[in-house]
Amino acid sequence: MKLLVTGGLGFIGSNFIRYMLSEHPDTEIVNLDKIGLGANPENLKDMEKIERYQFIKGDISNPQVIIGLVKKIDVLANFAAETHVDRSIVDPAPFLRSNTLGTFTLLEAIRKFNENVKYIQISTDEIYGEILKGSFCELDRLNPSNPYSATKASADMLCLAYHRTYGLNVNITRCTNNFGPYQFPEKLIPKTIIRAAKDLPIPLYGTGRNVRDWIYVLDHCDAVSLVLSKGKLGEIYNISSGDEVPNIKIVKEILDLLYKSEDLITFVEDRPGHDFRYSLDSSKIRSELGWKPRYTFSSALKETVKWYVENESWWKPLSTKKILHPTPWKIR
């Protein structure tokens, strides 16, 4: 199988490539990444000597780059995206270009030059918006709350339209919050680990009671692999662990693992449009494809903390002044 992974130098994409190279020895992988914010060549530096792996620098919004690659592949997994909500609020334009226009460019290349390609769109639970009770299923209405999730919702709509109009072999996966090795330092869990290790204040938006369903990145990779091989034409699959945890509990668990005081917790001004709770019903992928998470939240968090403590050489060059500055946030 010849697989094109877009955005493969990012957090989830690089973990997925590692997973596929390890679990599927018959798979040849081309990794296309423009090396923008959130991408890091160091994520896959040790994979460069593997003959089944090839890296190409390029933007998914560039048709000339995409067309040549699409002609030679069997499967395309689109992990490429601008992902950080705070950044999308400050400057939405890059999110529209990458998340929406980029997806359109990929779909058009497949439609015109290789309709046999199986296309996997890696989406997010954030497109549903917040839910105070119950859990979203795949057919629920989309209600994005910020520019990031709006551009991802637009991309999903394009994928479904190209399936229905042109018959493309499309699947969409919508996953909850990932964590694990190689996650960018500005995200909640790695930022908390790094700042706690340095005895710096740990910022929490609002009251810290916002709830997310957290999944270890390797469980996500396993789910995407199943959709790649067994997903039904045109179907959407929610991916969730069922581990719904308030942000404040996550921070406290990390502090406990690092033997640090909870006095480091600092409540800061909430961000605009901050959804209170996300929750997905993943019974479809569990019943139809036989997927279930392999890791518990606590065991995966312990492994993640250990990885960041032992890999300062990876995250230190990526840590902006905001990550390591003593007081970069407005105190609530």
Residues with catalytic roles: 125-126, 148
Contact indicator for 22, 14 with CB cutoff of 8 Å: no
CA distances, 135 to each of 48, 131, 170, 219, 228 (Å): 41, 7, 24, 20, 24
34: left (phi over 0), alpha (psi -120 to 50) or beta: alpha
The structure tokens listed for 65 are 């780059």
Specify whether the CB–CB gap between 108 and 62 falls below 8 A. Answer: no
Angle at 98 between CA 270 and CA 7, to 5 degrees: 95
Helix ranges restricted to H, the chain:
11-23, 63-70, 85-90, 93-95, 102-113, 147-166, 188-197, 217-230, 247-257, 283-289, 297-310, 312-315, 321-324
Q: Is there a contact between 271 and 208 (Cβ–Cβ < 8 Å)?
A: no
Nearest to 138 by CA among 220, 213, 234, 38: 234
Cα–Cα–Cα angle for 76, 88, 153, nearest 5°?
45
Q: How far apart are the first and last CA of the chain?
A: 52
Strands 211-216 and 244-246: antiparallel
